[in-house]
Amino acid sequence: MGEYLVLLTGGAPAAPPSSSGGMHLDENLLQAGFLVLILIGVALAAALYVANVLDVPWRRAMSNTDRQAIVNGLMITFIAVIVGIYTLVEPARLASATNRQMDYSINRGMNLYGQYCIGCHGLQGQGGPVPADIAEAAFAPPLAGRADLRPESQAERAQKADFLRKVIERGRPNTAMPGWSIAEGGALNSQDIENLVDFVQRGDFASVTSVMSADAIAKAEATAVAGGAANSSGGPGRALFLSKGCAACHAIKGVSSGTVGPALTTFGSSPQIAGVLQNTRDNLIRWILNPPAVKPGTQMPKLATITQQDAEVLADYLQSLK
């Protein structure tokens, strides 16, 4: 498996961080410890059996029944101690193993993201324009800072994981997102897809560049600039609209062609925001920063990557569209 990761990344994979915290339990050491205890028990039983057969002083002082009762009692006590120790240690061992497996999966998912996903979703998951050789005027949504993809509820997180898994496997109709599973002609097997889902839901997008070569980073940055994610005409508001992934959902004539959310070509002339707020600069800033708080159930997510200053620049840009 290690060699496979090296092939994926062009170098040695980064060591996954430990999420277990505190003392690190080595499962192999624990299992070896239990094996030693069992061997000691076997040795003790053998010693007691030999002593019971030989003509030792304590043998002459007890009956066969007494000797057998002592042997049985010692063995039962020893087994009870082993089971008790195992019962106390096993939950921590399982938790440690689960955490380390998840760390490995996230780290492998980060390597896969760096190889297959940055061209559209950005080096740090910020979203951006899809390369022209894949689709014209298409934009990939941001994946970093998405509270909707990382809900606190375990049930909701599992539901979102299933959604992500299906999107990666099959793609999304009428978008530039292709199916990445082998069954759809892609390059990823089922384990690869699980690793990517774990990374999207739990990983650190800011660390993606740590597993990429300098050439791969430079190429990704050049692609983003060429696609209009940075240094684009139309002012800082237009650049933010593209770089923050807004274009993946919203259409603006001559800028983007998103279809998930409403078109914004003449947003500045609209009387309301999402049908719930009067279209003022302050209300628009409030909406951009936290849409679900303004309109519960809305499909527009709260993006942690958008700052107060970003929201102000975006609001000025959108209100200029008449």
| Overall size of the chain counted in residues | 322
Q: What share of the chain is helix, strand, coil (3-state, %, to 5)?
A: 60, 5, 35
- Ranges of beta strands (E only) in the chain are 128-129, 139-140, 251-252, 256-257, 272-273, 277-278
Look at 197-206, 227-236, 259-268, 270-279 and tell me which has the smallest mean pLDDT.
227-236
DSSP 157: H
Distance CA 27, CA 6 (A): 26
Q: Which helix (H) or strand (E) holds 215?
A: helix 214-227
Q: How far is CA 76 from CA 41, 44, 73, in A?
A: 10, 12, 5
Q: What are phi and psi of 188, to 5 degrees?
A: -110, 135
Distance CA 27, CA 8 (A): 28
Both structure tokens of 128: 């951006």
- Over residues 3-47, the pLDDT tens digits come to 333 333 333 344 444 444 444 456 566 666 766 776 776 677 667
CB atoms closer than 10 angstroms to residue 156? 12
Domains of the chain: 232-322 (2.60.40.420)
Distance CA 220, CA 209 (A): 10
For every residue of 21-42, DSSP letters joined together read -SSPP-HHHHHHHHHHHHHHHH
- Over residues 136-183, the pLDDT tens digits come to 667 778 888 888 899 889 999 999 999 999 999 999 888 888 899 999
Q: What is the model's pLDDT at position 231?
A: 41
The average pLDDT across 72-100 equals 79
Cα 7-8-9 angle, rounded to 5 deg: 95
Model confidence at 250: pLDDT above 90? no
Both structure tokens of 312: 């102000």
Mean pLDDT for the chain?
78
Question: Which has more confidence, 244 or 109?
Answer: 109
Measured on CA atoms in the order 102, 108, 109, 114, is the torsion positive or negative? Answer: positive
Distance CA 278, CA 272 (A): 5
Q: For the whole prediction, is pTM greater than 0.85?
A: no
Both structure tokens of 310: 């970003």
- Over residues 126-143, the pLDDT tens digits come to 777 777 667 666 777 888
- Over residues 221-237, the pLDDT tens digits come to 766 655 555 444 446 77
Coil/strand/helix, residue 178? coil
At how many degrees (to 10) do helices 190-202 and 64-116 cross? 80
